[in-house]
Chains A and B, each alone.
Chain A
Amino acid sequence: MILAALVNGLALGAGYALLAVGWTVLLGAARLVNFAHGQLYMLGAFVTWFAISRFGLPYGVAVPVALVVVAVLGVVLQLLMTRMTLDQNIVNLMLVTLAFGYLLQGGAALLFGGDPQTIDSPLQQQDLALGAARFTGQDVLIVVLALAFYALTFVVLGRTDLGRMVRGVAEDPKLAQLYGIDAARVYLAVFVFSAVCAALAGAVVGPRSPILTSMGFEEVIVTFLVVVLAGVGNLVGGLVVAIGLGLFTAFFGTFFPPAYSTAAAFVVLLVVLVVRPQGLAARR
């Protein structure tokens, strides 16, 4: 039972991590917020499902299609918010992205219907075992992708010119212009990256359970939880906290009614914010 909870928690946590990596970069490196993040996760799952069920595309092709669709949507959303972003008008950005979230949810319900759907992934049918713990190929994919995305993001932000530009714009977008950096383009790139990460999370976590167009709100709350617990912008902390949250949820669900697991996670958040306001993984 313990081993099963451990494996389940790892997969769950890796899903949270994949969902949170984009937001961590968005909020930490670019000082941007996006409350439509959960709906982009939902769209990643639904466009994948739609590409498979309507066009008969294999799962491996449907996922990139979903990522492209959400990336294009991300471009449109960010272009609409360029002025607010350059002005770092955080309150308006929160409200506008919240509105985008509701619009995306309504649009998805019109397009895809309100019934629960299942994403047909061959990896979900692939049963694997580690001792007494059973898991699927899909769980392995989620963990591998989460680790790969965190490693990639870590290297890009720390070691490449693109990463330096993102960090420069995050520190001082006005000064960045004098370095010849087009801050609006950097914001666009970061927003699209974040949207694609959310869509990827939806596309790979989606096959684990039925998907609904109403999902997304809990996911954005979980993302927020991870980013705040880790300390805003802390990439490694984000991965550790996401995995920790997945394990906490899995173990909590093993011994207590799972319906209370989100509430329990928020109790942890409250305690952490009181004891360590800078976040669990942030350095003092």
Chain B
Amino acid sequence: MNFSSLLIPLLLSAVALYGLEKRVDVYTTLTHGAEEGLRVLLRIIPALVGLLTAVGMLRASGAMEWLSGLCTPLLEFLGIPPETAPLMLIRPVSGSGALAVASDLLSSCGPDSYEGRVAAVMLGSTETTFYTIAVYFGAAGIHRTRHTVPAALAADCMGFVASALAVRLFFGAK
């Protein structure tokens, strides 16, 4: 028995019991939320169709490997697996792009490989930086964003380095 086989059933029961205690119709709410999940998925499928095509072509042509190779010296210095270079490049720009690149990497390296885990942690600990900045400042009518972009990118870079570090810490070296 491992940590997550206890965690998930426990979490589901706890949430359901707590909801009942709060007089919440747990089941209807759950299905409502699931519908919302389906809507999110429907919105990203068209983007995934476009992006997985492009990512698949890049990998098949050998360009992906060349790109990773280009960044290898710097990334090895930072302790980041070079296979994740394309993911880091697209992460701040496109959320579904990052999802496409990560899923491509997970199927080629395996979800439980060192590279696969680092990619998943990167995806989980960073955001679509430029998109978020555009949405917020667009809505608030801000033209001079001052130090927002450098600070947000510093957070992303830290997230990338920390992801590799975290996987080594929690799962051991490769």
Q: Does A associate with B in a complex? A: no
A contact residues vs B (CB 8 Å cutoff): none
